[in-house]
């Protein structure tokens, strides 16, 4: 009887199907390498974000800066549409040699008691490109679409129409000098 039990055990062992895993050693290695690469990439991203300041720990108080909107710089097409009845618009290239001079003239003019409101038009701005002229300005116009500017110009607008034009560095400087600059 003991022999029969041993033989049954052997038969039972033979009849059991072999269980094979779908994971081969190569697949395990690929998964392991992928996990390691993802971990390294995440670590590099984390340390880069820390170094650049995108991630900050322990800094709850935010630097609050007051947002201000500047109304002095406008586009050339807006020069006829300002709210005031009488105002000045200076058209110039902010990267030009005389840009500092014009900024100084305007800031000193602004401090005067009877100064008119003024606006600046940066002719280097791509949105003002259609108003640039290489030769000959067209400044005495009734609408912005006809405006062409070849050199710095100061235009005095009254009731949204061109009243007086000062074209060129000398004329603009002379206009501002009459206010005691």
Mean pLDDT split into 10-residue runs, the chain, 181 residues: 57 57 76 94 89 72 63 88 92 90 89 89 92 89 91 93 93 86 51
Domains and their CATH numbers in the chain: 73-177 (3.40.30.10)
| Distances, alpha carbon 23 to alpha carbons 28, 34, 37, 47, 75, in Å | 7, 15, 20, 34, 67
Contact between 110 and 138 under an 8 Å Cβ cutoff? The reply is no
In the chain, DSSP finds a helix count (H) and a strand count (E) of 4, 5
Q: Would you state the pLDDT for residue 147?
A: 92
């Amino acid at each position: 009887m003991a022999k029969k039990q041993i033989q049954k055990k052997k038969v039972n062992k033979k009849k059991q199907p072999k269980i094979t895993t779908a994971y081969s050693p190569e697949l395990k290695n690929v998964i392991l390498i992928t996990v390691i690469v993802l971990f390294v990439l995440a670590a590099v991203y984390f340390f880069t974000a820390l170094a650049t300041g995108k991630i900050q720990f322990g800094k709850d108080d935010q630097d609050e800066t007051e947002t201000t909107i500047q109304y002095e710089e406008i586009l050339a097409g807006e020069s006829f549409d300002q709210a005031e009845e009488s105002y000045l618009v200076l058209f110039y290239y902010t990267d030009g040699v005389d840009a500092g001079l014009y900024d100084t003239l305007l800031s000193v003019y602004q401090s005067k008691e009877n100064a008119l409101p003024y606006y600046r038009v940066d002719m280097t701005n791509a949105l003002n490109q259609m108003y640039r002229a290489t030769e000959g300005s067209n400044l005495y116009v009734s609408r912005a679409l006809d405006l062409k500017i070849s050199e710095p110009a100061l235009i005095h607008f009254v009731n949204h129409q061109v009243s007086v034009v000062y074209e060129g560095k000398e004329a603009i400087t002379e206009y501002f000098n009459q206010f005691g600059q």
